Structure 1
C-alpha cells in the first residue's frame, strides 16, 4: 500500500495450531523454525519461556524478526531457503551431542533430517501446526479476477503457488492469469506455477521480504 498499490489478501492455506502433543524438550540444545506459522502456534505453549533461552535457527529474516519480537534471545536467520539451514547450523553450533528440535507443520517443503544427520546432528521434529489448502477463491476475489481488476499476484511459498495454480485452472481463470504478473519469492515458487499457460513470473535475487518489496517497487515504477 505504501507503494500506491491496492492490496487484497486471499488466504490459500488455512493454518490450525496443533496442541494435541506435548513438546519434548529433554536435552534440546537448539531450535529450528522454518515458518512464522510455527512461532505463532508456539505463542500459547507452556514451554515458550524455556524455549526462549535456546539458540533459534530461523529460515529467513522475517521469521527471525518475529522470533526476536517474541523474546528469543539468540536468533540466527538463514537465507530464506530451508535447504541452506544445515550449513548455517554446522557453522554456528559446534556441539553435536544434543538433539536439535524442528518446530514444523504437517507438510514439509524440505526435509532437514538427512543433511543434518550427515553433518553429525540428531534432529527431533515436533508438528506444532497443521495446514489445509483453500478449495476455492472467495466470491469477492473471483469477481476481481473476472473483472480484470487484479494485475499482479504475490506468492510466498511453493505450496501456496501450487494451490493458486490449481484454483486458477479449476475456476477457469487460466486465460486471465496470462495477463498477470506473478511475484514469486524464489525459483522454487516459480516452478510451482508450471501448470499455468506461460505465466509472467518475477522473483527477487534473494528469497526475503525486503528484496521482494524492492522488486515490486521497481516493477510498479516502470509501469507508471
Structure 2
C-alpha cells in the first residue's frame, strides 16, 4: 500500500517513518517549500513567552535567535516536539488548534507580565493574535518564514496517479489541498483520484479537496498528526 505525503520536506520524514511502521510505503511529493526570511531578527525585550503555531515556525525561530530560555506555547504535538528538539527549555503543548492555544495561554499567563511573540509565516491560519488581544494580551506577530507553493505536480505524485499505484494521500492544510486539486487538474489526472482515498486534517482541508473524485475522504478526529494517522489505521491496519 502506497501513501502520498504532500507535506513540506522538513515535516515529511517523521510522517514517513510512522507510515513505514504501519507497513505502508510513503511517497514524498512536497507541495510547499519552506524558506526562512533573511535578515529578520526577533526583538524579545519585554516578551514573556513565545507562541508557535507550526513546526516551521519553531525551526525559523531557532534559526533567527539564540534565546532558548523564554517559555514556548506550542499549538500541538508536532510543533512542541520540534521546539523541544531545537533546545527550547520550557515547552507547553496546547494539543490542538489555534483556539486551544489561545485558551492555554490565557489560562497560564498574565497580560501584565509582558508581550507575547508569535513566530509566524507570511500566511496565517486562524487569528491567534486577535483572539489573545481580546483577552488583553499584547501580541507581537512576525513572519519568519514563507511557504512557496509548487507550480507543477511533483513527479512522484504525477507518476503514482498515472500508474494507479497510489492507495491513499494525506493532507494537512487547506492551502496544500487546494494546490493539489489545481495541479492534478492541470495535469489531466483528476480521474485517477477515483482509486485514491484522501485523508484530511480537518473539515476545512476536506472542503479544499472536494474538487477531485476521491474514492473516499477520511477526516482526523482532532487536527493533529496522531489523529490523522489513527484515521488511516482504522482503514489500513495490518495492510
Say how many residue pairs are matched.
220
SS in 2 for 1:29: strand
1:118 aligns with 2:134: yes
Residue 67 of structure 1 is aligned with which of 75, 83, 101? 83
> What residue is the counterpart of 1:82 in the other structure?
98
1:168–1:177: 8 Å Cα contact kept in structure 2? Answer: no
Gaps of 5+ in 2: 1-19
Shift of 1:199: 5.9
Q: Distance in 1 between matches of 2:156 and 2:133?
A: 47
Q: Distance in 2 between matches of 1:146 and 1:140?
A: 10
2:96–2:223: 8 Å Cα contact kept in structure 1? Answer: yes
After superposition, what is the alpha-carbon deviation per residue over 1:112-138, rounded to whole angstroms, capped at 9, x for unaligned?
Answer: 222111111011011111111001112
Residue 61 of structure 2 is aligned with which of 25, 42, 65? 42
Residue 187 of structure 2 is aligned with which of 171, 175, 183? 171
Alignment of 1:1-224 (within 5 A): 1-45=20-64, 47-48=65-66, 50=67, 52-197=68-213, 200-221=216-237
Q: Distance in 2 between matches of 1:43 and 1:31?
A: 11
- TM-score between both structures, scaled by the size of structure 1: 0.91
Q: Identify the structure with the greater helix proportion.
A: 2
After superposition, what is the alpha-carbon deviation per residue over 1:185-208, rounded to whole angstroms, capped at 9, x for unaligned?
Answer: 122211221322466211221222
